[in-house]
Amino acid sequence: MSGVPDAVTDAYPNVKKQAAPIIRGQPTPIGTMQEHMGSVQASAFFKDGRRVVTGSMDGTLRIWDVQNGTLVGGPFEGHKDGAQAVAISSDGMRIVSGGRDNTIIIWDVENLNNQMVVKSSLIKHRSWVLSVCFSPDGKRVASGSEDKTVVVWDTETGAVLETLKGHRNSVFSVAFSPDGLKLATGSADRTIRVWRANSAEILLEIYAHQDLVRSVVWSADGQQLVSTSYDKTVKFWDSSTGYLQIGQPCIGHDAWVLSLAISSDGSFIATASDDMTVRLWNTKTHQHIAKALVHTAGVNCVAISPNGELLVSGDVQGKVWLWSIKDILEQYPAEDHGSLSNYSSESDETSSSDDNHSLLD
């Protein structure tokens, strides 16, 4: 017996179950996949929802078919050191990766045979590239680095469009707003900055956490920012002013919160932590919506499929984990909180603190 619930097995009959841990009363992964020879640092879903790209400390990128639980592309070699970050363009035709070799690589993707070829290798950062993202239209790439800078690139030509300076420590996260007009960055200086995407103008600085900011994402409507930190919390922010921290932080992780993903409909987030768990949270109540997804090692990255049904996580031992969100919510709901549809009447309340923001005209 695999220990995988029948509903999951029926939905994904071809997924290989590779030594997935079975913990009585806890969610069980559909399966695990392991080909990387180093820690899995980053993951992202293709828009078809059936493929994932991962980047690893072994310096490679790989493409996985999550329907079958198999490696279908790679290893793709280009970085001379660990691949720290990956992102996929909205049309699925390009991938960008950032590495500890100080380099950004833009890859052209041949989707029919899951092959990737290097389009351009971009060098400007003076230290590790820790984060990358595409603009919504795919015409620009942003990168954040240990050198404290953010660079915006032209995807087609590889030209530098803007260099954003202002953070006082490493930039761990970059994210374009849904309309592509703003760029949010999270840093080890404990702040989130929001920039005008077509210039170096700082629109907003939020003194967000008590420790370094590890991950930042936008809500689908662009009205909120969500951030994670080494202080073990997840926080929600009003993206228009920064004055308002929205509701209470999500609290439950016992170690650094390293990665964050938000569902396409904005109803829930997933967070990955060095405490060896992934947790699911309601974006209205900021409460758990399911029991923790327990791993066998620290979890570096997490991604949610476009339809919100699947979750992929990557751990420090090089393993890629596949989970059915639908089955987890049905079979392992949080014991002390309601489902996604059971929003608290207090969820719309916001808290304001003058210590948390600086609005720049």
pLDDT digits (tens), the chain, 361 positions: 223 333 444 445 444 445 455 567 889 999 999 999 999 999 999 999 999 999 999 999 999 999 889 999 999 999 999 999 999 999 999 999 999 999 999 999 998 889 999 999 999 999 999 999 999 999 999 999 999 999 999 999 999 999 999 999 999 999 999 999 999 999 999 999 999 999 889 999 999 999 999 999 999 999 999 999 999 999 999 998 866 789 999 999 999 999 999 999 999 999 999 999 999 999 999 999 999 999 999 999 999 999 999 999 999 999 999 999 999 999 999 875 444 433 333 333 334 333 443 323 2
The one-character DSSP state at 290 is: B
Let me know if 18 is exposed, middle or buried by CB neighbors in 10 A (0-12, 13-18, 19+): middle
Query: What is the C-alpha separation between 228 and 102, in angstroms, rounded?
Result: 24
What pLDDT is attached to residue 223? 94
Cβ 94 vs Cβ 107: under 8 Å: yes
Tokens for 186, please give them: 């999270």
Cβ 296 vs Cβ 315: under 8 Å: yes
State the amino acid at position 260 in one-letter form: L
Query: What is the C-alpha separation between 30 and 138, in angstroms, rounded?
Result: 32
Let me know if 58 is exposed, middle or buried by CB neighbors in 10 A (0-12, 13-18, 19+): buried
Query: What is the C-alpha separation between 116 and 88, in angstroms, rounded?
Result: 12
Phi, psi of 8 (to 5 degrees): -70, -45
Distance set, CA 134 to CA 82, 102, 138, 316 (Å): 20, 18, 5, 25
Question: Is this prediction's pTM over 0.75?
Answer: yes
Which stretch of DSSP H or E encloses residue 327?
A: helix 325-331
Query: What is the C-alpha separation between 65 and 45, in angstroms, rounded?
Result: 10
Query: What is the C-alpha separation between 278 and 269, in angstroms, rounded?
Result: 10
Q: Can you say how many angstroms the Cα of residue 197 is from the centroid of all Cα atoms in its chain?
A: 20
What pLDDT is attached to residue 241? 81
Query: What is the C-alpha separation between 55 and 298, in angstroms, rounded?
Result: 16
